Structure 1
């Protein structure tokens, strides 16, 4: 079914981009001054923090060979030499002696915020943080620093980084064989989807100018609008690709920007886009730490429609980006509203993704899983903070939440005068992370006015917000949703609550153990708990799903479910092995998928960017034999060593079916599942 047939959803009331960019809810003017720092190239002098670690060492060797100008690295308290480059005892010393333009941060998530803070204090122009599992409250504190200065720009965290294919400058862990110098600018939330996108434009003969990763975390140092602003004035960028997904409002902000850009520009550059998570179940966190919608935020379908209405050309799979952009550039202009949901098959392979290499990987970290506590547990937390609670409902109930405003990069209150957070009735009220109390706060006055509270209720609202804020900050929550109403005596009380807490604060930093002891895995979906033990994110989908999916990367996993559904399939699960699938994770994934009796066929969709396709093929073959599997498996392999991997599958003598193009593979697995 085409998205044109989907019911039109009422969007949240939005401020036009031209006005919004000067709003207090947007990024501050001082931080906006750092946008030019994203223009990396042959001139960029790169420093590494975490320089002597295994991951950084492998990355430095590969990046140096490719042409990146690396000037050394930091190991706290140590001076010396590594890989023939100087080791500095601090970022400040490195800045004074090596004059770096950028710093690549290769430290674990629990150390990332401290490393970023050191780089900000040293006024390094560009900081790229790649690690997953950076605690949300650590990064909130970093953003409160970023927005008070005009020297340092952050890319990430939880992202592949930034790369100039023209300038041979890589700051991150992108798979180099996919890249070729060219004229397409790419900005993406998903790492694996961005690799697919890059490979598609390379196969189409277009290549890339600058590729910026927004990353999959709740808060991004550089967002879609930032990247689009850079691409607009970049003479090397002739066409722009945007890859979004569920969670936040960055795609909606981008749609506003695109609409304004097309209105004020005589010959706008063509923009092609994709949004992952169209089929994501509401309320679930889909692999990425930021792949969830806060109260009142749009879903993926609303984002798709907003981008389409703004004039972006939409595709349903990243392998279509190259040929679609090639057509638009040859025609000289984009055509608003055009979509590629019924486009032609995938382009031919190119030599750029065929080289047999051993790509360096990102730091290996378990997948994110945030914790939602039960309502009675949320009520207990509220009572401990002297908040009146009453498990009741009323037609006059209102909604109040404290969460993260991803556009303002700060905490915010989301208020609605009605029960539930309908986007058309919800409004955000951002405030500073350094806020201590809300007495006589203009934010409280604005919230009270919007919710229609009488003057007598303002003090009660202040007390409720103050208590929620203290819980949010002290317990490291990412969202506190409440349904509030007036008691018979006029007291403001909480009638319903849904509280979510940051997994990373516990897993990577060992904080909030008391909160995370509230989790009871025995009450959760068994397959999801089992998968988690191996670092796999598995979400069991409801309905008649007969196709099991196994994918490397959260964004690609979401898009795989979307695209299979578009082709008429019914998926039983979402499964992200993580960015670096191994033979062991493949085997564990098969075991979990096959435990679902609904599954009649399995679709393995792997893009071998950081992972070689031949290694995945070997893992699939071994797992199939070891588990004595009876379910047919379709394996789509793209990327590094794809031809070798496909050959191994084809010659295995097992009921395995190898493909490189997505559409042919999708049709095959759907047929094997008995759906067509």
Structure 2
């Protein structure tokens, strides 16, 4: 097949006028390579094998792509300083960095050449990879430029990239066979053996070795790295797939690399709620074990067992769409595939060492090592469904009221009724994380107990229409109702595209007179489009903070993600990183504790955010003890210790606090805690810390 551009790929698509312009700005200005009919995005998989040979470019370490405005300029300055510091560290570590890009300008920075475009950088420096260090509102533009220049590996670290921007990027990636994306919203990819870091991973945790680690969560990944370093195993290649809704690289991609990598002797997989990539990994592992006589041992951890239904847990992708499996289903699937599960990442190192020491790893994996690697789940209490405190999530989404959703539908000529409910069907438009495209989700029932197993997904290319006839056939609708179904489906797709939604759910039915009416609706919109790009203001003005949980709104002001949990929660949790925060709640619960909240201070927590976190946690009268679980990556343990001491001094704290500090500057942080003479209980071990805080909370 001849080389073609995305413009030609989108040609002849029935584009709706309200979002044609939005797609046009991401259409590349040059042609992508796709030289053979058999080539595809899958052919870019070998590009992940980075090492000492990898020539790395930086997009954004001196400037940002075409931004202006006071708030944006502050973000530019912050990111530019971060990227500059990152380049210095990576160079000293041994990474082969060949320059950076400052649009329209040539020069020098840190003794490295600065190129006016990625295309020029590609021609002059021949980079094998590019690190995209630009804010979320400009990430898609930077990735697009790298795809145009056919950079083999693109690593995007930014958080808050609008979902629809990434959907458009994936429509481009599918049309070419030269560039592979890692991220966005990830720490990046790092070869400990080859001393090649493309991202912002904390280098002191890493040591050259033989364990491959693939993770959705940055902090859980760092914990796993530190655990394997302490065990003397070290790491080969570590890939962070990121916590966004759609990842450029997934677990199966990483597993395929590790299978044939002679440097990788054991594999760690760290997943969480949201999507089906863990289930896909389980199926791949089953096949791997069938066709391999002595497979490499694989261990895993899944976060989000205790996550409240319908909430986004810090990461943009940490939510479960209709028909998607929960954390327990993922755990069971991986266990059934022969994977050893742990309930906390500090167990990975010693347990993997034992597995690698076995002379017959595969046959003995489930019998000899079941209690070793799975003890946290053998005795796991099955999670009890929690009642949401509020239907509104405060990070990366906005659910509007049903009445507001009905208004949107009525404005498009769709019949609605909030009083007349008939037996009918469920129809939704969302994101298919496997197909990396929009999809229609249809179920012939509205019964919540039956709908998940009867749901079917119908992916369709970004910018095209859905296959309504296939949806109608699955729903079993009469031919006379197909026209009405088509109108409803196309309306939902229009709203999805034009208003940058991530999930539009409806319940509808056909009445005796043949009229199709919607009698239930739940509409969710991506707030990154508004927060980072100031798009969709009309939708996000519908938010009424007065109807939300007060503590959650207060936390948001300080950049903290706080979710108040129901039940008898008596332990307040303070954690840096969404994945680690989910795992902390899960692990404390598996030990018999009752958590009052999920709290993620963010990966760049400061002393002030720690103090604010304590204030929010202690506003809940149920809290009898506080558990601080910090792994210092970008966050320094001494800074966290300072925040804890400030909180005791300024807030008049009375409840006992258990502190577990690991990672960057952990010795200094622990010394500060010890010298403070405050009623704090400090531990290295999670098990010991968990036991102590649970006893104090009782």
Q: How far apart are 1:622 and its partner, in Å? A: 1.2
In structure 1, the partner of 2:509 is 485
Q: Which residue is 1:305 aligned to? A: 332
Unaligned runs of 5+ in 1: 1-27, 345-366
Partner of residue 43 from structure 1, selected from 38, 53, 59? 53
Separation in structure 1 between the aligned mates of residue 574 and residue 635 of structure 2, nearest angstrom? 14
- The 1-side partners of 2:594 and 2:571 are apart by 6
CA separation in 2, counterparts of 1:120 and 1:283?
35
- Of the three residues 291, 296, 302, the one matched with 1:275 is 302
Provide, for residues 174-218 of structure 1, a one-character-per-residue CA deviation record: whole Å limited to 9, x for no partner. 000000001110000000000000000000110000000110000
User: In the alignment, which of 90, 109, 112 is matched to residue 85 of structure 1?
Assistant: 112
CA shift for structure 1 position 626:
0.9
Alignment map for 1:88-107 (pairs within 5 Å) = 88-107=115-134
Matched, 1:461 2:488: no
- 1:259 aligns to what? 286
The question of whether the paired residues in 2 share the 8 Å contact of 1:159 and 1:213 is answered with yes
Q: Say whether the 8 Å CA contact 1:583–1:618 is kept in structure 2.
A: yes
Match of 2:660 in 1: 636
2:452 to 413, 423, 438: 423
SS at match of 1:46: strand
Residue 689 (structure 2) pairs with residue 665 (structure 1): yes
Q: Deviations over 1:624-667 (max 9, x none)?
A: 11111001100000111212211221221111111111010001
Distance 1:592 1:51 in 2: 35
Instruction: Write the distance in 2 (CA, Å) between the matches of 1:284 and 1:610.
Output: 26
Following the alignment from structure 1 to structure 2, what is the Cα–Cα distance between the partners of residues 647 and 571? 28
SS in 1 for 2:375: coil
Q: How many residues align?
A: 620
Residues 419-472 of structure 1 deviation map (CA, whole Å, 9 limit, x = unaligned): 14633111111110020x45xxxx222211111111122222111111000000
Mapped to 2, the partners of 1:91 and 1:298 lie a distance apart of: 40
Shift of 1:392: 4.0
Instruction: Work out whether 1:290 is the aligned partner of 2:292.
Output: no
- Structure 2: gaps (5+ residues): 1-37, 63-79, 378-393
SS of equivalent to 1:72: strand
Q: Which residue does 1:449 correspond to in 2?
A: 473
* Structure 1 stretches of 4+ moved >3 Å: 341-344, 392-395
Q: How does 1:186-335 map to 2 (within 5 A)?
A: 186-332=213-359, 333-334=361-362, 335=365
Secondary structure of the structure 2 residue equivalent to 1:33: helix
Residues 572-591 of structure 1 mapped to structure 2, 5 A cutoff: 572-591=596-615
Distance 1:217 1:327, change over 3 A: same
What CA distance in whole angstroms lies between the structure 2 residues aligned with 1:78 and 1:305? 54
Deviations 1:214-235 (A, max 9, x none): 1000010000111111111111
- Contact 1:309–1:336 under 8 Å retained in 2: no
* Cα deviations by residue, 1:383-434 (Å, 9 ceiling, x for unpaired): 1111111124646221111000001110011111111463311111111002
**Secondary structure of the corresponding residue to residue 591 of structure 1:** helix
Alpha-carbon distance in 2 for matches of 1:636, 1:68: 32
User: Which residue number corresponds to residue 93 of structure 2?
Assistant: 66
Which of 522, 525, 530 is the matching residue for 1:498? 522
Give the Cα separation in 2 of the matches to 1:142 and 1:420.
36
Distance 2:374 2:289 in 1: 23
Q: Is 1:527 matched with 2:551?
A: yes
2: CA distance, partners of 1:285 / 1:82: 40
- On the 8 A contact 1:298/1:423 being kept in 2, the answer is no
Residue 563 (structure 1) aligns with? 587
Matched residue SS, 1:646? helix
- The CA distance in 2 between the partners of 1:161 and 1:336, in whole Å, is 32
Q: Secondary structure at the match of 1:481?
A: strand
Cross-structure match for 1:602:
626
**Corresponding residue for 2:70?**
none
Of residues 129, 138, 142 in structure 2, which corresponds to 1:115?
142
Q: Which residue of 1 aligns with 2:194?
A: 167
Aligned mates of 1:243, 1:550 — CA distance in 2: 21
For residue 553 of structure 1, what is the aligned residue in structure 2? 577
Deviation of 1:582 (Å): 0.8
Q: Answer yes or no: is 1:31 the counterpart of 2:60.
A: no
Higher RCO (CA 8 Å, separation ≥ 6 residues): 1
Match of 1:615 among 636, 639, 655: 639
Paired residues of 1:190 and 1:215 also in contact (CA < 8 A): yes
With the length of structure 1 as denominator, give the TM-score of the two structures. Answer: 0.90
Alpha-carbon separation, structure 1, partners of 2:452 and 2:648: 46
Secondary structure of residue in 1 paired with 2:509: strand
* Aligned-pair CA distance for 1:342: 3.2
Q: Residue 169 of structure 2 aligns with which residue?
A: 142
Q: Is this contact kept in 1: 2:636–2:664, CA < 8 A?
A: yes
Secondary structure of the structure 1 residue equivalent to 2:454? coil
Tell me the equivalent position of 2:542.
518
> Aligned partners of 1:153 and 1:343: how far apart in 2?
36
Query: Which residue of 2 is the match for residue 624 of structure 1?
Result: 648
How many Å apart are 1:498 and its aligned residue?
Answer: 0.3
Pick from 394, 416, 428 the counterpart of residue 401 of structure 1: 428
Q: What residue is the counterpart of 1:20 in the other structure?
A: none
CA contact (8 A) 2:220 2:579 kept: yes
Partner Cα distance (1:662, 1:620) in 2: 18
- Paired with 1:420 and 1:584, the residues of 2 have a C-alpha distance of 47
Q: Residue 105 of structure 1 contacts residue 130 of structure 1 at CA under 8 Å; is this kept in 2?
A: yes
Q: If the length of structure 2 is used for normalisation, what is the TM-score? A: 0.87
Indicate if the aligned counterparts of 1:448 and 1:461 stay in contact, CA closer than 8 A.
yes
TM-fit CA distance, 1:617: 0.8
Residue 433 of structure 1 corresponds to 462
Paired residues of 1:106 and 1:131 also in contact (CA < 8 A) = yes
Distance in structure 1 (CA, Å) of the matches to 2:100 and 2:232: 36
Where 2:408 maps in the other structure, the secondary structure is helix
